[in-house]
C-alpha cells in the first residue's frame, strides 16, 4: 500500500498543480478507456463470431458424415463406415467422430478403440432420448459436441457424433488479443505524445501568462505575449496586462510617494485616530532626536510640548476631528529637552467611505526662518532709516554747502582780522564735521559715497593699530596677532580706519573698571565653508580677511545685542557716545560687501568679528591732493543748481578765483543758457538732482550740441543712488556737497587743463 500511495500522491499533486498535466492525463485516460472498450468489444465480437463459425462447421461436418454413412449403416458395412470417418479424421481440432447405433453402441469411430462400446456418461445417454434432429450436446470454450441423426427412408438408423476442441481457435484468439494489446499500447503512447504536444501547445500561453504574473509579482520586467489573439487566451492576456499595467502604475506611484515621504526634508509622522504613532520618516529623527523605535507605538502628545497648552490642544483636536486640516505655529521639544519653534500641519487621512482613519503630521523647524525673519525686519528697519537719512542729507548738505561757501567769502573779506578769521574757521570746521556726521549716517545706511581702492590690509592694519595704541591708557594690555599673509581688499581707507578706531574705542570703554583690562587685536585669513555660507546668505564661497577685536570688559546684555548696530543707540553714559560708532561700522563694512558680527556674554567681555572679501592685486593707484587753492584765468563757467543759496555762494567763490560765471536754475535752463553762450562756456558745474530736468539728462542733451563739453557734477545725494541704473562715463567727475574751496578749485583747474 505504501508503494502505491507515493506514486498516487505524486500523480494527485501533479494533477492539482498543472493544467498541462491534467490535459495529458485526461487525454491518456480517455484514450485508454476508448481503446480498452473498443478492443474488448472487438475481441468479444471476434470470439463469438469464431465460436459460432466453429459450431456451424462442426455441425456441417457431422451432417456430411451422416449423409455419407447412411447407406453403410443400412448395409451394416463397418469397413465402409470406417473409410468415411477416416476421411474426416484430418479435420482440424477433431477429437473424435463416431457412428452410433440407435441404441448408442459405437459402430464406427475415428478412434478404433471406441468401436463396439457404449458410452454410459450422462451426455451420451441423453442421445437415446433425443429427437431425430441435429443437437448440440456441448458448446464450451474448449469443446464442441454435436450429434446428427442418420436416416434411411426417413427412418432413424443411427447417429453421427462429432466432438471437436477449440485449441487452435483459442490460440488464434490469444494471438489476436496480444496483438490488440500491443496495438492498444502503441496507440496509447501515440495518443499520449499527441496529447502532450496538444496540451503544451494549448497551455503554452497560460504558462507564459503564469511566468508574467510571477515576474510582475516579484517586480521584474516581463515579456508580453501576443494580445491580438481573438480566442479566450488573447482576451485573458489583454485584461491581465491591463491589470498589471494598472497595478504597476499604482505601485510606482506608491513607491514614489513612499520615497518622497522618506526623503522629505520636513518631519512627517502618521498616527491613528487615537494619536498613536504608526510611522515616522528619517527627517523626524533628525529634527527631534527620537528614532522610529522610540516613537512608534507612543502617543504623539508625549513627544511635543503643544499638548501642554490646553487651549491649543483643544483647538487642534476640534479641527482635525471635524475632518479639517489644522496649521499653525507651536513650540516643540526635542529628545534632548531643547525647545524649537515649528510650523505644524495636521491633516486627516480618510478611507473610501470618507471616514477619518489616520492623521498625517508635518513639522518644519522655524529656527532658521525666524532668524532670517528677524534679519529681514532689521534690514527693513535699516533701509527705512537709510531712506530717511538720505532725504535729510540732500537738504542738509545743500545748506552746509551754502554755509561753507559764505564762510570762505567772509574769511576772505576779513582777512586782516585774525580773531574773526579764527572764529569763522572754527565755524567752518564744525560745518565740515556736521558733513562728516551726515556722511557716516549715509555710510551706515549704505547710501554714502565711498572711494574704493586696493588696500594691502596687513600693513594697513598694523599702521592703524600702532596709531591707535597711543590713544589707549597704559593700564590696558594690548595684544596683537596679525598675520603676515598678503591680503588685498577693495576698500575705502578712511572708512576702514574709522571702523577699526570705533571698535578699539568701544573695547577701551568696555574694559573700564576691569581688574586686568585687556584688548586683543587679531587679523587672519579665513576660508569659508558650506556651513558658514548657509548661515550667512550674503556670502559666497571664497577667502576673506577676518578681523577680531576682543575685550574682557563688562560685556553686552543679550537684550541689547539686536539693537547694537542701530544709529543713536548707545548703552554708554551721557556725553560718552553718540550711538553712531557701531552703526557707521556696520554700514561701512556692508558697503565693502563684508559683514560684522558680535559675540558677547555679560560680565565676561565681547568679540567683534569683521569679514572682508579678498581680491587679486592689480596696479591701481590713487592720487592725493594738497590744500592749495588754484585760481582761474578768466574762463567762463556755467553753474547749474536749483538751490539759490548754494548757486550764489559758488558764483561768488568762483568769481573771487578769477572765473566768469553764468547761472542756470535747472537742467532745462542750463540747455538754453549753454546754447546762447556755447562759444564762451569752458566748463559746466552742475547739480545732479533738480526739478524739471536733472543734471545728467541735461548734459546728455548739451553733448549733442558740443560733444567735448567739460563737466563737474556736485550733489548732496549718494552718487550711486542717484545714478543707479544709469550708464554714465568715467569722464564725469562727481563731488559731494559740501566741498572745500581747495578741492573745488583744484578739480576745476584740472578739468580745464585736461
pLDDT (tens digit per residue) in 725-734: 555 556 678 8
Residue 432 sits in the same domain as residue 463: no
What percentage of the chain reaches a pLDDT higher than 70? 81
- Most confident listed range (179-183, 236-240, 368-372, 748-752): 748-752
The mean predicted confidence, pLDDT, of the chain is 78
Q: Is residue 648 part of a domain?
A: yes
Rounded to two decimals, the pTM is: 0.40
Q: Is residue 3 part of a domain?
A: no
Q: Can you give the pLDDT at residue 575? A: 43
Cell readout for 572 is: 554708554
- Are 661 and 637 within 8 A, CB to CB? yes
CATH at residue 404: 3.40.50.2300
Q: Is residue 376 part of a domain?
A: no
Residue 399 sits in the same domain as residue 481: no
Nearest Cα residue to 590 out of 450, 423, 705: 450
List of long-range contacts for 732-738, beta carbons under 8 Å, 24+ apart = 732/699, 734/449, 734/688, 736/397, 736/439, 736/449, 737/397, 737/398, 737/400, 737/401, 737/646, 738/397, 738/400, 738/401, 738/403, 738/404, 738/405, 738/431, 738/432, 738/435
Weakest mean pLDDT among 25-34, 138-147, 176-185: 25-34
pLDDT at residue 621 above 60?
A: no
Structural domain range at position 521: 450-613
Separation of alpha carbons 286 and 269, rounded Å: 13
Q: Is residue 741 part of a domain?
A: yes
Separation of alpha carbons 715 and 688, rounded Å: 6
Residue 270, helix vs strand vs coil:
strand
Element (H, E) at 569: none
Q: Is residue 7 part of a domain?
A: no
| Number of domains comprising the chain | 5
Q: Can you give the pLDDT at residue 506? A: 83
pLDDT at residue 254 above 70?
A: yes
Q: Can you give the pLDDT at residue 731? A: 65
Q: Angle at Cα 160 formed by Cα 157 and Cα 166, nearest 5°?
A: 170
- Most confident listed range (16-20, 697-701, 728-732): 697-701
Of the three residues 335, 365, 395, the one that is the final residue of a domain is 365
Q: Is residue 747 part of a domain?
A: yes
Residue 202 sits in the same domain as residue 96: yes
Nearest Cα residue to 508 out of 551, 548, 466: 551
Separation of alpha carbons 362 and 345, rounded Å: 5
pLDDT at residue 314 above 70?
A: yes
Residue 659 sits in the same domain as residue 679: yes
Residue 587 sits in the same domain as residue 459: yes
The secondary structure of 364-428 as a DSSP string is EE-HHHHHHHHHHHHHHHHHHHHHHHHHHHHHHHHHHHHHHHHHHHHHHHTTT-HHHHHHHHHHH
Residue 211 sits in the same domain as residue 232: no
- Most confident listed range (69-78, 555-564, 631-640): 631-640
- Are 221 and 215 within 8 A, CB to CB? yes
Of the three residues 164, 194, 220, the one that is the final residue of a domain is 220
Residue 695 sits in the same domain as residue 737: yes
Match 550708464 to its residue by C-alpha cell.
727
pLDDT at residue 473 above 70?
A: yes
Of the three residues 567, 588, 613, the one that is the final residue of a domain is 613
Residue 393 sits in the same domain as residue 289: no
Q: Is residue 2 part of a domain?
A: no
Backbone angles phi, psi at 71, to 5 degrees: -70, -35
Residue 529 sits in the same domain as residue 609: yes
Residue 229 sits in the same domain as residue 191: no
CATH at residue 84: 3.30.450.20
Residue 587 sits in the same domain as residue 701: no
- Are 390 and 717 within 8 A, CB to CB? yes
Residue 457 sits in the same domain as residue 583: yes
Mean pLDDT of 168-188: 82
Q: Is residue 371 part of a domain?
A: no
Is the peptide bond prior to 477 cis by the omega test (within 30 degrees of 0)?
no
Q: Estimate to the nearest angstrom the gap between the alpha carbon of 416 and the chain centroid.
A: 85
- Are 735 and 703 within 8 A, CB to CB? no
Separation of alpha carbons 329 and 317, rounded Å: 15
What band does 554 get if pLDDT is binned at 50, 70 and 90? Answer: confident
Amino acid at each position: 500500500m505504501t508503494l502505491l500511495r507515493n506514486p498516487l500522491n505524486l500523480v494527485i499533486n501533479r494533477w492539482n498543480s498543472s493544467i498541462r498535466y491534467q490535459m495529458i492525463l485526461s487525454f491518456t485516460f480517455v484514450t485508454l478507456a476508448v481503446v480498452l472498450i473498443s478492443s474488448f468489444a472487438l475481441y468479444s465480437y471476434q470470439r463469438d463470431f469464431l465460436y459460432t463459425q466453429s459450431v456451424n462447421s462442426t455441425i456441417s461436418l457431422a451432417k456430411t458424415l451422416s449423409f455419407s454413412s447412411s447407406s453403410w449403416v443400412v448395409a451394416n458395412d463397418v469397413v465402409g463406415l470406417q473409410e468415411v470417418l477416416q476421411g474426416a479424421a484430418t479435420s482440424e481440432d477433431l477429437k473424435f467422430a463416431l457412428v452410433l447405433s440407435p441404441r448408442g453402441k459405437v459402430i464406427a469411430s475415428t478412434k478404433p478403440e471406441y468401436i463396439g462400446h457404449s458410452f454410459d456418461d450422462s451426455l451420451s445417454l441423453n442421445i437415446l432420448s433425443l429427437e431425430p434432429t441435429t443437437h448440440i450436446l456441448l458448446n464450451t470454450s474448449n469443446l464442441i459436441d454435436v450429434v446428427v441423426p442418420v436416416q434411411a427412408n426417413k427412418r432413424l438408423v443411427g447417429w453421427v457424433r462429432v466432438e471437436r476442441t477449440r485449441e487452435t481457435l483459442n490460440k488464434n484468439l490469444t494471438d489476436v488479443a496480444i496483438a490488440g494489446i500491443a496495438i492498444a499500447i502503441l496507440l496509447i503512447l501515440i495518443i499520449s505524445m499527441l496529447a502532450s504536444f496538444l496540451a503544451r501547445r494549448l497551455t503554452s500561453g497560460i504558462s507564459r501568462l503564469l511566468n508574467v504574473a510571477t515576474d510582475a509579482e516579484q517586480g521584474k520586467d516581463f515579456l508580453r505575449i501576443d494580445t491580438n489573439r481573438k480566442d479566450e487566451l488573447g482576451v485573458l492576456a489583454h485584461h491581465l496586462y491591463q491589470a498589471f499595467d494598472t497595478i504597476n502604475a499604482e505601485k510606482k506611484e506608491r513607491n514614489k510617494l513612499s520615497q518622497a515621504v522618506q526623503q522629505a526634508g520636513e518631519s512627517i509622522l502618521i498616527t491613528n485616530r487615537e494619536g498613536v504613532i504608526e510611522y515616522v520618516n528619517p527627517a523626524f529623527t533628525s529634527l527631534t532626536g527620537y528614532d522610529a523605535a522610540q516613537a512608534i507605538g507612543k502617543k504623539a502628545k508625549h513627544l511635543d510640548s503643544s499638548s501642554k497648552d490646553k487651549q491649543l490642544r483643544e483647538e487642534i483636536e476640534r479641527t482635525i476631528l471635524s475632518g479639517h486640516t489644522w496649521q499653525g505655529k507651536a513650540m516643540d521639544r526635542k529628545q534632548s529637552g531643547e525647545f524649537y519653534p515649528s510650523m505644524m500641519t495636521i491633516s486627516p487621512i480618510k478611507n473610501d467611505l470618507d471616514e477619518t482613519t489616520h492623521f498625517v503630521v508635518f513639522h518644519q523647524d522655524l529656527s532658521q526662518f525666524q532668524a532670517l525673519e528677524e534679519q529681514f525686519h532689521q534690514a527693513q528697519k535699516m533701509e527705512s532709516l537709510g531712506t530717511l537719512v538720505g532725504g535729510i542729507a540732500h537738504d542738509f548738505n545743500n545748506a552746509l554747502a551754502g554755509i561753507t561757501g559764505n564762510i570762505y567769502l567772509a574769511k576772505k573779506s576779513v582777512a586782516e582780522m585774525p580773531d574773526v578769521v579764527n572764529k569763522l574757521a572754527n565755524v567752518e570746521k564744525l560745518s565740515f564735521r556736521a558733513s562728516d556726521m551726515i556722511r557716516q549716517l549715509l555710510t551706515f545706511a549704505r547710501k554714502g559715497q565711498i572711494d574704493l581702492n586696493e588696500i594691502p590690509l596687513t600693513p594697513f592694519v598694523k599702521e592703524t593699530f600702532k596709531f591707535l595704541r597711543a590713544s589707549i591708557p597704559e593700564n590696558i594690555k594690548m595684544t596683537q596677532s596679525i598675520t603676515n599673509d598678503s591680503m588685498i581688499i577693495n576698500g575705502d581707507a578712511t572708512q576702514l580706519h574709522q571702523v577699526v578706531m570705533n571698535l578699539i574705542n568701544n573695547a577701551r570703554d568696555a574694559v573700564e573698571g576691569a581688574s586686568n583690562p585687556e584688548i586683543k587685536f587679531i587679523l587672519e585669513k579665513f576660508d569659508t565653508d558650506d556651513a558658514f555660507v548657509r548661515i550667512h546668505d550674503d556670502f559666497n564661497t571664497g577667502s576673506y580677511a577676518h578681523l577680531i577685536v576682543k575685550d574682557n570688559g563688562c560685556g553686552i546684555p543679550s537684550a541689547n545685542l539686536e539693537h547694537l548696530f542701530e544709529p543713536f543707540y548707545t548703552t554708554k553714559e551721557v556725553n560718552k557716545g553718540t550711538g553712531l560708532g557701531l552703526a557707521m561700522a556696520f554700514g561701512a563694512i556692508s558697503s565693502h560687501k563684508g559683514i560684522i558680527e558680535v559675540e558677547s556674554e555679560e560680565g565676561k567681555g565681547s568679540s567683534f568679528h569683521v569679514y572682508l572679501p579678498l581680491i587679486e592685486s592689480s596696479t591701481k593707484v590713487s592720487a592725493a591732493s594738497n590744500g592749495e587753492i588754484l585760481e582761474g584765468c578768466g574762463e567762463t563757467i556755467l553753474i547749474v543748481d536749483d538751490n539759490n543759496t548754494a548757486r550764489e555762494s559758488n558764483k561768488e567763490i568762483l568769481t573771487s578765483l578769477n572765473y566768469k560765471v553764468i547761472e542756470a536754475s535747472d537742467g532745462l535752463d542750463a540747455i538754453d543758457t549753454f546754447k546762447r553762450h556755447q562759444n564762451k562756456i569752458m566748463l559746466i558745474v552742475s547739480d545732479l538732482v533738480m526739478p524739471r530736468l536733472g543734471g545728467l539728462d541735461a548734459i546728455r542733451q548739451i553733448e549733442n550740441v558740443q560733444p567735448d563739453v567739460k563737466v563737474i557734477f556736485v550733489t548732496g545725494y549718494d552718487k550711486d543712488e542717484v545714478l543707479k541704473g544709469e550708464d554714465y562715463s568715467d569722464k564725469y567727475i562727481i563731488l559731494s556737497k559740501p566741498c572745500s574751496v581747495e578741492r573745488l578749485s583744484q578739480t576745476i583747474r584740472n578739468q580745464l587743463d585736461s
